[in-house]
């Protein structure tokens, strides 16, 4: 699972397969990587793939990175943890109104694929419409990477961080804020089984009735989902209400720079950005009102 992992189209010239038992052994393989080694875990990204340059596969399922555990207020999810475990794990289902479980469920609609597809693989291969990455942005998740040294990166910079090439994604760290914190997620899906044309996620905390730690992210942006700081700043310190939500949605509309693709035009995504943000924030409001 390379931090600069590239998807391939078909593996027709393989000459070697490795299944290292330690991080050190894996990193040693990475050090000789000249663009011919591909890291795999669940292997779902290899289906219908093709790349004549890949010569060797390194299977990291022997590194014991399949786990979900709480540690000092942080949920640690190993990089090779299947998405289905995110759907089913009690601690994931109850945290943040179950938004991570829901994102994992929507990321891969097939349970068979969720049993194989890993959180690390999904994040490394993040695209513009990634539901899971969008949710991790609003939760301010981090990734822990092992290379020449071990270090953590915020979710919103790790895919673009220079010098990460050749590093190994070890785990995802999700801070767990329990009290008076609410989340929401809303998207437009062409069919019940399709990926969303656009999706927005939101998280905020309430302190004496006022919003703090507001995070809003949206998909359909170049090259991965992005947060909208202008809308977050507008809500900070205000009471959460329909009027505040409408203002935030308008701010998202102004700041949002969508990309066109085969699913939707730039104009369509721009226009419906208000709608998905409003729905995500209204979910936060409804959950706050139900609890308070």
Per-residue confidence band for 139, with pLDDT thresholds at 50, 70 and 90: very high
> Which residues of the chain are in CATH 3.30.43 domains?
16-61
SS3 content of the chain, % helix, strand, coil (to 5): 35, 25, 40
Helix ranges (DSSP H) in the chain: 23-31, 83-88, 90-94, 99-107, 111-114, 119-124, 131-138, 229-235, 242-255, 266-291
Which CATH number applies to 16-61?
3.30.43
ω into residue 198 within 30 of 0, thus cis? no
When pLDDT is averaged across residues 162-167 and rounded to a whole number, the result is 53
For 230-262, b where at least 16 C-beta lie within 10 A, e where not — what string?
Answer: ebbebbeebebeeebbeebbbbbbeebebeeee
Residue 163 in this model has a pLDDT that exceeds 60: no
Q: How far is CA 5 from CA 34, 39, 160, 198, in A?
A: 13, 8, 12, 25
- In angstroms, what CA-CA distances link 130 with 91, 98, 175, 253, 284? 23, 17, 20, 20, 21
* Range from 2-6, 157-161, 271-275 carrying the lowest mean pLDDT: 2-6
H or E, element range at 204: strand 198-207
Name the band, by pLDDT with cuts 50, 70 and 90, for residue 14. Answer: confident
d(CA 86, CA 194): 20
Q: What is the pLDDT of residue 292?
A: 75
CB contact at 8 A, 13 and 51: no
Quickly state the pLDDT bin for 82 (edges 50, 70, 90). Answer: very high
**What CA–CA distance (Å, rounded) separates 211 from 253?**
21
CATH number of this structure's domain 68-175: 3.30.465.10
Architecture of domain 181-291: 2-Layer Sandwich (3.30)
pLDDT, average across residues 163-172: 73
Cβ pair 94, 162 in contact under 8 A: no
User: pTM value?
Assistant: 0.88
């Amino acid at each position: 699972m390379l931090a600069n992992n590239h998807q391939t189209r078909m593996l027709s010239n393989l000459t070697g397969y490795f299944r290292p038992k330690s991080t050190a052994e894996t990193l040693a393989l990475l050090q000789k990587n000249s663009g011919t080694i591909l890291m795999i875990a669940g292997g779902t990204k290899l289906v219908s793939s093709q790349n004549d340059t890949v010569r060797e596969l390194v299977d990291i399922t022997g590194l014991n990175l399949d786990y979900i555990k709480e540690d000092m207020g942080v949920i640690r999810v190993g990089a090779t943890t299947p998405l289905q475990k995110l759907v089913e794990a009690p601690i994931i289902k109850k945290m943040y109104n179950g938004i991570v479980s829901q994102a994992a469920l929507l990321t891969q609609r097939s349970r068979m694929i969720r049993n194989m597809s890993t959180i690390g693989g999904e994040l490394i291969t993040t695209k513009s419409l990634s539901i899971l990455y969008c949710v991790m942005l609003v939760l301010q998740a981090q990734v822990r990477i092992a290379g020449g040294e071990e270090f953590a990166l915020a979710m919103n910079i790790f895919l673009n961080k220079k010098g990460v090439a050749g590093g190994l994604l070890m785990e995802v760290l999700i801070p767990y804020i329990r009290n008076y914190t609410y989340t929401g997620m809303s998207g437009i899906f062409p069919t019940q089984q399709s990926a969303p044309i656009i999706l927005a996620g939101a998280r905020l905390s309430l302190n004496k009735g006022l919003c703090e730690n507001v995070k809003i992210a949206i998909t359909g942006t170049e090259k991965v989902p992005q947060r909208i700081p202008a809308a977050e700043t507008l809500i900070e310190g205000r009471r959460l209400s329909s009027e505040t939500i409408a203002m935030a949605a308008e701010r998202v509309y102004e700041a949002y720079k969508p990309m066109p693709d085969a699913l939707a035009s730039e104009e369509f995504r721009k226009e419906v950005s208000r709608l998905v943000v409003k729905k995500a924030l209204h979910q936060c409001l409804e959950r706050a009102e139900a609890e308070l």
